[in-house]
């Protein structure tokens, strides 16, 4: 498999050209994450320590650079997922991978948005990287499910959507550490014991206490939601309604 960071140039490309390409990709990733996708290519060249001509030789357009940056980042995640599968227990590998995807989302966000929104230019490089990412995610998920660590009714699309939601959650918090803490808590819902359908207390419109005296209520799994703790409070509330 040809690595994105190698530039796909093979043996005919000089070593210094490959190094320059890698430096441009790294600098572009940092610049896009810090300042958005409107960063001029001249700034990318400055950060990479190369001339503007070097950037344009490798990436003739901003779109081409965006695609290459995102593909490189996906390939880094793929390599990490493969290492986790080889070195860690299935459930640990799965959740560790998802936390890495969510935790590193800050440097990928702007690039992801552009690539997802722009369908007018070809991205075979990106398509291949996305396919590899999906394959690793699916392998991690199925291994964790076989080990009993993840709900059996989830598929790769469900997990990808869940991870995207966690990324949004982290981005919505000014305190990134707090956002990551919430993401960890949310990811616990992927475990078999996290299924809310097993617990009848999750009912819409359920009162948290007696509407009359505020006492704790006994939850009923079926029937109308409980509003009063007993007959005394129910009659008291009825008399108040009639008097009003």
pLDDT of residue 6: 42
Q: How confident is the model over 68-74, as a mean pLDDT?
A: 87
Residues 159, 190 contacting (CB under 8 angstroms): yes
pLDDT, one tens digit per residue, over 90-134 is 999 999 999 998 888 766 665 555 555 555 555 777 888 888 999
With a pLDDT cut of 90, the percent of the chain lying above it is 23
Q: Which residues, at least 6 apart from 223, have a Cβ–Cβ distance to it below 8 Å?
A: none
Answer whether 0.75 is exceeded by the pTM.
no
Domains parsed from the chain with CATH numbers: 1-60 (1.10.10.60), 65-198 (1.10.357.10), 199-244 (no CATH)
The single-letter DSSP state of residue 201 is T
Please provide the size of the chain in residues: 244
97: phi then psi, degrees, rounded to nearest 5: -65, -45
Residue 67 parent element (H or E): helix 62-87
């Amino acid at each position: 498999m040809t690595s994105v960071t190698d530039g796909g140039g093979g043996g005919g490309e000089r070593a210094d050209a490959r190094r320059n390409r890698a430096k441009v990709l790294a600098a572009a990733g940092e610049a896009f994450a810090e300042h958005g996708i409107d960063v001029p290519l001249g700034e990318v060249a400055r950060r990479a320590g190369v001339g503007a001509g070097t950037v344009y030789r490798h990436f003739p357009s901003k779109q081409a650079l965006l695609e290459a940056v995102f593909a490189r980042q996906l390939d880094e995640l793929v390599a990490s997922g493969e290492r986790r599968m080889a070195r860690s227990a299935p459930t640990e590998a799965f959740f560790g991978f998802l936390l890495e995807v969510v935790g590193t989302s800050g440097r990928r966000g702007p690039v992801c948005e552009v690539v997802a929104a722009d369908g007018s230019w070809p991205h075979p490089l990106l398509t291949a990287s996305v396919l590899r990412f999906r394959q690793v995610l699916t392998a991690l998920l199925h291994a964790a499910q076989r080990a009993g660590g993840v709900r059996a009714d989830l598929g790769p699309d469900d997990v990808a959507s869940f991870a995207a939601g966690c990324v949004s959650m982290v981005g919505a918090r000014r305190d990134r550490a707090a956002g990551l803490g919430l993401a960890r808590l949310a990811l616990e819902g992927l475990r078999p014991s996290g299924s809310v359908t097993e617990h009848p207390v999750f009912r819409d419109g359920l009162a948290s206490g007696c509407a009359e005296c505020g006492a704790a209520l006994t939850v009923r799994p079926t029937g109308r939601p409980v509003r009063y703790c007993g007959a005394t409070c129910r009659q008291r509330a009825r008399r108040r309604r009639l008097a009003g």
